[in-house]
Structure 1
């Protein structure tokens, strides 16, 4: 299991550009904004 995860990371790369551009990033930012508003 760990070996397959390592292979996946090596195949995709270790930079964060794919994660930073992901659509769920905007959703999680929105959730954080809503949580801040509750404080």
Structure 2
């Protein structure tokens, strides 16, 4: 049996101090992707 999983990965990187900014960016991208009908 062949199982095919198609997924994309978005990686947000940066320094330790910009952790809050990375969280905001990741959450915003997640909401945009969800609004387009994809699962996050």
TM category (shorter chain) comes to 0.3 to 0.5
Structure with higher RCO (Cα < 8 A, 6+ apart) = 2
* Structure richer in helix, relative to its length: 1
Report the structure number with the largest CA radius of gyration. Answer: 1
Taking structure 1 as the reference length, the TM-score comes to 0.44
| TM value normalised by structure 2 | 0.43
